[in-house]
Amino acid sequence: MDQRKPPATEEGWYALHDCRSIDWDAWREAPQRVRDRALSEGIDFLDAYEAVEDADEGQTAVYTVMGHKADIMILHLRPTMGDLDAAERHFEQTEFAAFTEREFSYVSVTEASGYTEKSREYFEGEVDDDSGLAQYIQARLHPDVPDEEFVCFYPMSKRRQPDQNWYDTSFEERAAHIKRHGDIGRTYGGDVNQMIAGSIGFDDWEWGITLWSDDMRHIKELLTEMRFDPSTSQFADFGPFYVGRKFDPSELPAVLAGQRVPTDDEPVPDTPSEDAGHEHAPAGAGASHGHADEPNSSGAHAGGDTGSHGGAHPGSAGEGDHPHSEESADEDDHPNESGSSSGASGGRPDVSADFEEIDDATQRLGRLGLYEGDAYDAGDYALLFHSSADAEDIVDDVSELSESFDHYDRHVQTAVRADSGQTYVVSIWTAKDAAETAAGFLTDIDGIERTMGGPLGEATDDGDVEDGGDAAAGGSEAAESSQSIRETLEAEGVYAGQPHGEDVYALVVYSEADAGTLDDEVADLRSAFDRYDTHVKTTVYGDPDAGVTAVASLWDTEDAAETAGDYLTDLPGVVRRHGESDGFGTMGMFYTVKPEYRTDFVEKFDTVGDLLVEMDGHRETSLLFNHDDENDMFIASQWDSQEDAMAFFRSDEFSETVSWGRDVLADRPRHVFLA
């Protein structure tokens, strides 16, 4: 048999289709802070790669995937295989990747091949680089990912059976098949865009086909018609099909929350509430509403403004031995771009529930100097957005936004606050639905990273605040005691944990062991604890002068903390756990001090310590230092009774200390009380 003649080919960008499933059980069980970090890193990765920060050229897009085969598909196009390899490995380093499993992947390279006389002239160098055909083929090799909403990806090969072997047919027969196939594809110009990538020697199949359209029926109709063409019916075998919808990286939280994406396909309410009769959205605050809550959201539309799509309709010049093959390529007869834009690209999505829900908004606002009765009323709703920008750089923008909000009766206030070197934008409304709409405008403020919102107590019929925590629900004496402490501290702007169940659960054991020995033992224990997402920190604190050493371990769940307690009590020299002695003990008063203020903080503690000695019911209060970081401190205090301790917390001296501390602390203090 004569040697068959292969077509000339030219290669462009390398492609990776990375199809992932989400471990939904692990996602639901993960603590909120872990999910937040995973979303942040996932968005940062996708934003960076869509911006092509890792290579001189290329494209990246992300899609949901429908059906059982996967949940998301990340498509990378890069100039070199090294760029593609780096992108793949980079994703695996993100916290988000830990919640995914790769179900399928495909490696290929964009390809143009020629069977017609005109295309052969191109490959033989007889066509000018600025000709229409040359520019078209280069666009095929270096495509822009189109904005179309839907994607369909599948691999395929040409059949190699005794009576149906594509590679045994003559060049002329193959060229005739491809021309006829191209004639079919040309009729779908403007409705379907495509990318053809060769994978002989790269993957298990020979080509990877990616189709885009704003209507999946167009893709179905195209493929159905081509099934009846002999080049497909006699010579084509197909792999699995992956169908999905494009979304912007900023909408990753919506994907994980089970919301419809792209979210801007949904109608956006033009009022703070979707119920008729409420005020209209603030005039002059921007023409669009906010998007999903995530750090570093780009706000970009899906796919960006590419200017051109990822190639013309199937069946165009420069395609190879695949179902969507090349038409009769004329230099002046290359296909037109559809020019259409995806319905996924317009507007901004509805912002309902698009920020992190918190239940300690009262405490957080207290730390910023905003208190009930002065800055807001019980039953109001607060948004608390963190910005990486300096407060003075955004104060004008926030002030303008606040003036727009003031047109609406349900707006209480919107302002910039700074605390411990951090910048916050606080917006308070009389109802959550009004705050949700306002959130859309606030996310456009420079540097917005973390977005949170929560109720400020619950107003009863008589106007009093109804506590929704365990103290009111359970009625236990311990819960009531700890809640009364929190209420008192909140009035002073001091964070004191969540009702009864804290935002973390803390255990402390005291040891007489040598500090060096204890450090080594705890380091081993901490390494074991770090394998669990529920572990926050386990630290050795000591006071050399008093001969006191404590090991504090913080966890997200009570069960995990209790389990850890069994290991902590096995540490060398442990003499007691916190709470095992009589009297009323407070613990979990953790402070991280700015290095330049450490000496001042210690001196301040000594001053307060002298005051404590004179107070009724005070037994012992120690300031302990982290053995690995002297600026991280822990205060342990023991009292005869809760009322004795409360007398101190209500004192002017304590209030002054709290106010003073806001300037010297590097991070928010964490107070966890075990009553």
Per-residue pLDDT tens for 285-318? 333 333 333 333 333 333 333 333 344 333 333 3
Per-residue pLDDT at 487: 55
Per-residue pLDDT tens for 90-112? 999 999 999 999 999 999 999 88
User: What does the pLDDT average to over 368-380?
Assistant: 84
Per-residue pLDDT at 134: 74
Say if CB 394 and CB 442 are below 8 A apart.
no
Tell me if residue 510 is catalytic. Answer: no
Whether residue 140 is predicted with pLDDT greater than 50 in this model: the reply is yes
User: What does the pLDDT average to over 181-187?
Assistant: 76
Three-class SS state of 80: coil
In 3D space, the residue among 237, 244, 329 whose CA is nearest the CA of residue 72 turns out to be: 244
Per-residue pLDDT at 558: 66
Q: How far is CA 20 from CA 66, 84, 105, 402, in A?
A: 11, 17, 9, 42
Mean per-residue pLDDT of the chain: 74
Whether residue 469 is predicted with pLDDT greater than 60 in this model: the reply is no
Show the CA angle centred on residue 416, arms to residues 410 and 420, nearest 5°: 135
Say if CB 52 and CB 304 are below 8 A apart.
no
Give the tokens for residue 9: 């080919």
- Measure the CA–CA gap between 165 and 161, rounded to whole angstroms: 5
What residue has token string 């934008």? 425
Per-residue pLDDT tens for 424-461? 999 999 888 888 878 877 887 888 888 899 999 765 44
Least confident of 87-101, 231-245, 473-487, 560-574: 473-487
Per-residue pLDDT at 600: 86
Whether residue 319 is predicted with pLDDT greater than 90 in this model: the reply is no
Whether residue 496 is predicted with pLDDT greater than 50 in this model: the reply is no
What is the band of 645 on the pLDDT scale with cuts at 50, 70, 90? confident
User: What does the pLDDT average to over 24-42?
Assistant: 91
What is the enclosing helix (H) or strand (E) of 638? Answer: strand 632-639
Whether residue 349 is predicted with pLDDT greater than 70 in this model: the reply is no
User: What does the pLDDT average to over 128-138?
Assistant: 73
Least confident of 45-49, 552-556, 655-659: 655-659
Per-residue pLDDT at 478: 40
Q: What percent of the chain has pLDDT over 90?
A: 24
Least confident of 207-211, 261-265, 618-622: 261-265
Give the tokens for residue 647: 């007398």
Per-residue pLDDT at 584: 57
Largest alpha-carbon pair distance within the chain? Answer: 107
Helices 652-664 and 598-613, axial angle in degrees (round to 10): 170
In 3D space, the residue among 238, 213, 231 whose CA is nearest the CA of residue 155 turns out to be: 238
Per-residue pLDDT at 128: 74
Neighbours of 38 (CB within 10 A): 21
Contacts of 552 (CB under 8 A, 6+ apart): 506, 507, 508, 537, 538, 539, 541, 587, 588, 590, 634
The winner for highest mean pLDDT among 116-125, 447-456, 566-575, 656-665 is 447-456
Per-residue pLDDT at 421: 66
Per-residue pLDDT at 149: 93
Q: Out of 154, 188, 242, 541, pick the active-site residue.
A: 154
User: If phi over 0 gives left and psi between -120 and 50 gives alpha, with beta otherwise, what is residue 5?
Assistant: beta
Per-residue pLDDT at 550: 83
Give the tokens for residue 183: 């004639």
Whether residue 493 is predicted with pLDDT greater than 50 in this model: the reply is no
The winner for highest mean pLDDT among 69-73, 191-195, 618-622, 661-665 is 69-73
Per-residue pLDDT at 504: 63
What is the band of 52 on the pLDDT scale with cuts at 50, 70, 90? confident
Contacts of 104 (CB under 8 A, 6+ apart): 17, 19, 69, 70, 240, 242
Query: How do strand 548-555 and strand 632-639 relate by DSSP bridges?
Result: unpaired
Least confident of 56-70, 484-498, 606-620, 643-657: 484-498
Which residue type, as a one-letter code, is found at position 6? P
Dihedral of CA 496/497/498/502: which sign? negative
Three-class SS state of 542: strand
Model-wide pTM > 0.75: no
1 or 550, higher pLDDT: 550
Whether residue 664 is predicted with pLDDT greater than 50 in this model: the reply is yes
